[in-house]
């Protein structure tokens, strides 16, 4: 037996067993909790056995499309909107405080506040793309974040973090679930806020969050494996941004 065949068998052995598709029809229905999705006339449940219902019909239609697009097997990895909805219902709605705290933790050491000391071209690019978001946060949230060129942690003003926390306190479970995903993928709670506030587009938000990474690629060339991982993250980022937009519309 060849080495390639052995490797294929090893991979197959550890590949997760996906459930077979058991339904034919997928439909959106109106429920007391908003809009649900039915498989062959039966409502979808979350992992915690709650009814999967979202507040916007457009979002429900997009979640339904994820279920329609499944082939012989159901692959959760290809259902980003469904996963975020599950998290919102099963985790965030029950206890939003830890999610708010984690997003606030990103704001306390936000990517946009840690600047390069050199080279000048990178300094200018960071200033061009990052400073307008900090200015908007100061203007619209009353959150004046400080910046540094040091690698040492910068303690942000309590007033800035308090203003940001106040904004988070007004976000519902579905918004927070999407915003948490966006923050983790971008590394910046401020980028997430700008996107949620409709101050920046999805593509611009992604570019803002990857200034340093893009700079390194320009200088040293892109790594194929890293580019593949980045593309997968961008797919998740777009899904979370779409989710958030549909909830807020």
Distance CA 14, CA 237 (A): 28
When pLDDT is cut at 50, 70 and 90, the band that residue 5 belongs to is low
* Helix H or strand E encompassing 54: strand 53-54
pLDDT confidence of residue 2: 46
Share of the chain above pLDDT 70, in %: 94
CATH 1.10.3580.10 domain residues, the chain: 97-248
**pLDDT over threshold 50, residue 16:** yes
The architecture that CATH gives domain 16-85 is 2-Layer Sandwich (3.30)
**pLDDT over threshold 90, residue 50:** yes
Q: Which residue, among 243, 109, 101, 111, has the nearest Cα to 168 in the 3D structure?
A: 101
pLDDT confidence of residue 228: 87
The position carrying tokens 């779409």 is 242
pLDDT confidence of residue 6: 52
Average pLDDT over residues 192-211: 97
Average pLDDT over residues 214-243: 90
> Which are the contacts of 220, defined by CB distance < 8 A and separation ≥ 6?
none
Reported as half-sphere exposure (CB side, CA atoms, 13 A), residue 97 has a value of 1
What are the distances in angstroms from CA 238 to CA 80, 133, 135? 10, 20, 25
CATH 3.30.2180.10 domain residues, the chain: 16-85
pLDDT confidence of residue 3: 46
When pLDDT is cut at 50, 70 and 90, the band that residue 103 belongs to is very high
pLDDT confidence of residue 1: 46
Q: Which residue, among 163, 128, 118, 165, has the nearest Cα to 144 in the 3D structure?
A: 163
State pLDDT tens for residues 79-98.
999 999 999 999 999 999 99
pLDDT confidence of residue 222: 75
Read off the tokens for 243.
């989710």
**pLDDT over threshold 90, residue 220:** no
State pLDDT tens for residues 117-137.
999 999 999 999 999 999 999
When pLDDT is cut at 50, 70 and 90, the band that residue 15 belongs to is low
Superfamily of domain 97-248 in the CATH hierarchy: ATP12 ATPase (1.10.3580.10)
> Which are the contacts of 184, defined by CB distance < 8 A and separation ≥ 6?
106
**pLDDT over threshold 70, residue 8:** no
Strand pairing report for 34-39 and 26-31: antiparallel
Distance CA 48, CA 185 (A): 25
Average pLDDT over residues 45-67: 97
């Amino acid at each position: 037996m060849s080495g390639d065949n052995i490797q294929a068998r090893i991979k197959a052995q550890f590949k997760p067993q996906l459930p077979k598709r058991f339904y034919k029809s997928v439909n959106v229905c109106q429920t007391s909790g908003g809009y649900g999705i039915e498989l062959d006339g039966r409502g979808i449940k979350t992992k915690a056995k709650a009814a999967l219902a979202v507040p916007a019909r457009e979002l429900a239609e997009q979640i339904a499309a994820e279920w329609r697009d499944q082939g012989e097997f159901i692959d959760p990895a290809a259902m980003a909107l469904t996963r975020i909805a599950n998290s919102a219902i099963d985790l965030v709605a029950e206890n939003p405080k830890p999610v708010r705290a984690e997003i606030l933790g990103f704001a306390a050491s936000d990517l946009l506040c840690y600047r390069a000391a050199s080279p000048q071209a990178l300094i200018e690019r960071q200033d061009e793309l990052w400073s307008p978001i900090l200015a908007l946060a100061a203007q619209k949230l009353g959150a004046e974040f400080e910046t540094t060129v040091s690698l040492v942690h910068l303690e942000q003003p309590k007033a800035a973090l308090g203003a940001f926390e106040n904004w988070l306190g007004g976000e519902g479970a579905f918004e927070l679930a999407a915003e948490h995903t966006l923050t983790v993928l971008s590394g910046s709670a401020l980028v997430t806020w700008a996107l949620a506030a409709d101050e920046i587009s999805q593509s611009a938000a992604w570019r803002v969050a990857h200034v340093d990474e893009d700079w390194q690629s320009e200088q040293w060339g892109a790594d194929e494996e890293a580019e593949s991982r980045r593309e997968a993250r961008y797919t998740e980022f777009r899904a979370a941004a779409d989710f958030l937009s549909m909830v807020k519309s």
